[in-house]
Amino acid sequence: MESIKELQKEINNNNFPVSSILRKAKIIASKLEQKDFLNWIDKELGGYSSEEKVPEYRIVRGIPQGYNPYIGWIPYLINNPENQELISKRGVKQSIRELEEVLKNSKNTLMMKYPASIEKTLREGISHDVDLRLLIDKASVSGILEHIRNNILDWTIKLGEAGISKESEEFSTRDIKEAEDIKPKFEIQHIENFTGNIGENNKFESGSLVPVETFWNKFFWYVIIALGVVITGNVLSTLILKELFNIG
C-alpha cells in the first residue's frame, strides 16, 4: 500500500511527475473513502469536460493576438477594458498528463485558439478575416502543476496532523472518520460572459493548450518538403528520359 510518508517524499521531489503523484494520492484517498477528494483527482487525471467549470488555478492569462499578413502576429486590443480582460483569460481543461506533455514539448510560450463563436465576434469587431489566438507564457501552465502538487502536500500534512500516517495495509475506522473533513483546497470558477460590444450571449469557454510553432520549425518542414519535391522531380525526370530516349 502507498504510505503517506512515501507520497510526501515524491511530492517534494520535482523529478516525480504530478500525474504519478495524483495516482498515488488516489490509492490513499480511496482507502480513506474521501469521495470529494477522489472526484477532484479523477478530474485532474482525466481532464474537465466541456460542460464543467474549472478551478480558479486552471484559469491562465495571456496576450490576445491577431495575425497580420504583412508583419505577423500583433496584439489584439479592444477599447472596452472589461472585454480586453475577458479575452485575456482562458480556462484549461486538459488532463495533467496532457499538460505535462505540452510543457515538455514547448520552449517558452504556448497558445490557445478561441472558440469559433468568439472568434467570429472578435473578427466582426475589426472587419477582417484574420487568425486569432491567446499567447500564454509557459510558466502560467507550470503554475497549474505546482498548485496541484502543493494541494496534495497540504492534504497529506493534514492527514498527519490528524494522526493518519500509519503504513499498515488498511486504515482503521477511526482514520476514515478523522479524514472526513480533510478536503482539497480549490474553488470552481467560470469566466463571465462577454459584455458590451462583444455581445451578452457569448460565453467565454475553456480550450486546449498547444506549443507555439516557431519560424524555424516551419522553416525546417518547408525545407524537407522542398527537398522531397526536388528529389521526386529528378527521379521522375530520369525515368522519363530513360524510357523515352534511352538516356541514363
Together in a domain, 136 and 235? no
Together in a domain, 11 and 134? yes
What grid cell was written down for 111? 497558445
Structure confidence by residue, pLDDT tens digits, 184-221: 555 444 433 333 333 333 444 555 655 565 444 444 43
Together in a domain, 86 and 146? yes
> 15 vs 10, 12, 18, 80, 106, CA distance in Å?
8, 9, 9, 44, 18
Together in a domain, 165 and 218? no
Together in a domain, 134 and 16? yes
CA gap 134, 64 in Å, rounded: 4
Structure confidence by residue, pLDDT tens digits, 91-145: 899 999 999 999 988 877 888 888 887 888 777 766 667 788 899 999 999 999 9
Together in a domain, 99 and 33? yes
Question: How many CA atoms within 13 Å lie on the side-chain side of 177?
Answer: 3
> Is 216 within 8 Å of 139 (Cβ atoms)?
no
Three-state SS at 211: strand
Q: Would you state the pLDDT for residue 198?
A: 36
Together in a domain, 222 and 194? no
Together in a domain, 153 and 79? yes
Together in a domain, 162 and 226? no
Residue 163 or residue 59, greater confidence: 59
Element (H, E) at 200: none
Together in a domain, 145 and 224? no
CA gap 159, 122 in Å, rounded: 49
Together in a domain, 223 and 135? no
CA gap 110, 134 in Å, rounded: 8
Structure confidence by residue, pLDDT tens digits, 130-188: 788 899 999 999 999 999 999 999 999 888 887 775 554 455 555 555 555 556 555 44
Instruction: For residue 155, give its domain range.
Output: 4-212
Together in a domain, 169 and 221? no
Domain count, the chain: 2
In DSSP terms, 54 is beta-bridged to 189
